[in-house]
Chain A
């Protein structure tokens, strides 16, 4: 009997810790089960992880899927050109229509104005001018409708592309760089497309035209806007030759030729514009 009591006590001592651990384990298991099955508790745990994943996904999205998406869009556009045109047509069509309507409106106003002038002193002046210059009257009328205008002028050393002087109506990009790039473009075209000593004479871009007039050691680039008539081109040619003859030779002897040339350019071409009005 005493022996049995002793055995019970020994078992109690030995298994006490096991029992406590088992209880703790059961409690943790229950808690885990509760966490998994209780939506609120599960959300508290999982939400930050999902949030983190979402942010990472958003950050890496362009890198991970950008090329595929671009490729897919390209393929879609290529394969469904009709649908794309159909989708864009109403928007672009409206824009073009609006633009053309506004331009026609302006042209109408100018034509009305010219018609009013037809039998006026101005009208006779145009007829006489056309007769003397040999330029068709319609060219003169058109050039007045879309008045050509000098926007910028660059005098550039031929080989080096260095700017010798310039005149600009508005602040543009770095003029030294423009002079360099114009020279590079001119050099490229003349090297690539001409077999003998031919010169690039103009560069057209939308409403602007760059007229290039070459002399022996330099050339003059004139950026013009509006309708370039043959009369305007002739007048510009004469003026450039006159300018080169009168100003450039003299300016080279000055202490600061660039300042001298730029000053004279402004004077010359303001006179040119005013004489046209």
Chain B
């Protein structure tokens, strides 16, 4: 029997949340930036080592502060992808504060932190940024090249299974 899970993507605006979903669900990427209004729902069925999982993905409009996002969009989420833009410090400067807020709101949901747009920085620059953030596990990804996108969703899927 397939299981269904609600996954929310949150973070500042313009960090590539919609592009990550577009890449993951539709295998497409567009340079054109269209801001998300409110929320957009997408769906993808994953095969997690033989177990079928239906991910209902909520692409929530970007906000600098997550407490500005309607709580009802976040409540009931089984997993969270917190996305920031590795090339824009303002999108990860308040990361720890935002993660604490989310852990308080969704204590049981696993949270994966994504440093998106890795294609814009060199390996050295990326390492420098990740060191400065001081978070134990951050996935780097690029919705543009597709690098690591599938793996991140797979990893969250497995984490949600407990």
Contact = CB atoms under 8 A, between A and B. Distances in A.
Interface residues of A, number: 21
Given A160-B6, A162-B76, 7 more contacts: A174-B43, A177-B56, A184-B41, A184-B58, A184-B73, A187-B70, A188-B70
A180 B72 contact: no
20 contacts: A157-B76, A159-B72, A159-B75, A159-B76, A160-B76, A160-B77, A160-B78, A161-B6, A161-B76, A162-B56, A176-B54, A176-B56, A179-B56, A180-B6, A180-B41, A184-B41, A188-B38, A188-B70, A191-B70, A192-B70
Interface of B: 1, 4-6, 38-39, 41-43, 54, 56, 58, 70-73, 75-78
A204 interface: no
A163 interface: yes
Given A160-B78, A162-B4, A188-B38, A180 B73 contact: no
A261 to B, nearest CB: 13
Contacts of A184: 38-39, 41, 58, 73
A190 B76 CA distance: 16
Nearest to B57: A180
Interface string A154-189: 000111111100000000001011011100100110
A188 B70 CA distance: 7
Interface in A124-180: 157-163, 174, 176-177, 179-180
A256 B1 contact: yes
A177 B42 contact: yes
A180 B70 contact: no
Given A161-B56, A163-B4, A177 B43 contact: yes
Contacts of B38: 184, 188
A176 B72 contact: no
A262 to B, nearest CB: 13
A192 B37 CA distance: 14
Given A159-B76, A184-B38, A184-B58, A176 B1 contact: no
Nearest to B1: A256
A158 B71 CA distance: 13
A175 B108 CA distance: 26
A255 interface: yes
